[in-house]
Chain A
């Protein structure tokens, strides 16, 4: 609650109604391309932290339904990549194939490879729990464990995976600081997580993912259930995190993609399986899209 009021001035900037207007008219001074070019793009390999992730010819099925077709995409270490596209284009499915959450659907099937640090995460004999420790995930809806306190939530990953950490107090503070939540919750670590606001809960979920020190963080529309103020805080958090790890974010909000990501990939389904249409540095994708369909989408002509 508190953060919304503090950030009152930010609200007007990221008001959803205003965004829609801007998407329709790409001639406004603050066009997506401008927003994107304001960022200084990070070149791949400039940061030693985190591992790169590479998808090689990934297909996904649900039963006999082909949901995703032949996606090959690199996520260089230490960069932020956003996946954009209209609903049902398979971007969330793609995200879930990247840390093997796809296989929870009983009829799911897959082809292709996903390489983490050069090794296929689907190779036989791979311990799936270890893969998910290295590739964290933040979900659409904040989902802290309600039976645990704020502090326990942050450290829950260690408990779940039975990892011993020498100094959990420091780790707790570090994760909450990196998630931008420390100052708000440092005095109430023993309260239950449900006492937090939606935006705080989502940042708590981010802190929770950080505690197991993943190399890659996947975010599935992390702000779609949040108000603009909280969205701003999460975007800030993402920018901070990008210094140390690889981030892949699925978003419906093109403004957000322009604000936070170094690279963008556009997926589209024409009724059949979703396909990768174009991927490029974000400023390029929004200013000089190469594909007609990308241009239509980013200028708001459809989708």
Chain B
């Protein structure tokens, strides 16, 4: 016993030495615990790495901040197409301000959209930084990324005019400080065109069904056509539109009401969509459906972005697009669902509706199957019409316009003078693309926003409201380097 204790004592003291020396001798080893998250080194060894980078850049398209409440507010609620909707007291953070043009630099939606589009751009820049460092990368991956970067920039330039031009990935505080001042609108458009031209020349024209949702040559061309249209580069816009139309790859759907249904996903008319999946495991644009779905007892959602009476009344008699775009309180919809008669709003957006019974729906209201149609052939005809008109070819302009009118169940246009045709094209864009996130920008781009909105009692100020305000938060964080748009 005594002897054992002695051994134990010795063992104890040895332990003391061991702990003292062992840890100090190999201390670096002992504390060298690896970080468990994926770091660049781990990532590079992954064969899926290149496509994961590209996927992450697409991922921004599904974000709530990117394509949901704020985007709906800025592109639609602010315009003459829609009212805020919901209950009168429910502001939707700042949607009341967007609706009534009482917004300012501190309104949240602008900041969300600024941040989200720049996040998309940052992801694109990160991908473009890492892709060349990886082996066996499909060269078209970088072009997809550039296409997406152009899309995010196009959103920004349409809302705010000139914005910071960020071409490289940002890592340090110095990078941020350097990046955070405005380039001119022209520089941004030039950057967009450069990305889209590269993308257009290298992306595949066709995608197999299991690649649906990824950028194509046509998607780049369609976006470029619109980018030219916004810059009034009519000849270029016409050429791009013609390229698409003449490719023979796309044809209009005969049934307009099918375009926004699940059965119309990636149809012959579709050029680019954000691909959403409503079955397990699902992935959709967060909140896109539920924000706009009919409100109230027995309703489906929050009931924002409700079609205005002005929009409802603007459709010509016999235009099939009205009832494909607008649903009414108490109406029984195509799938048998009846909008409750006690709903707080008279009309709701039909294009954002999904049928919980006849379309794919797994119970998740937040992430639904509804694809966001960003480019489709219908708009390309209208771009062509407008470009032809401005070049001076009224016949071609009318011909393109009539393609769209005829599909909607309407006779050829009766417009004769250039002014009449221009009005007809603008009208046609409104009714054809209502709730497709285009109207507010159309009003701003054509210089018609002031007259149109003031007629509806909206205090639109010329020289100010043609652009939205740079978010105050961003100005504050730039140490004054970001300048505000005029009038704010």
Mutual binders A and B: no
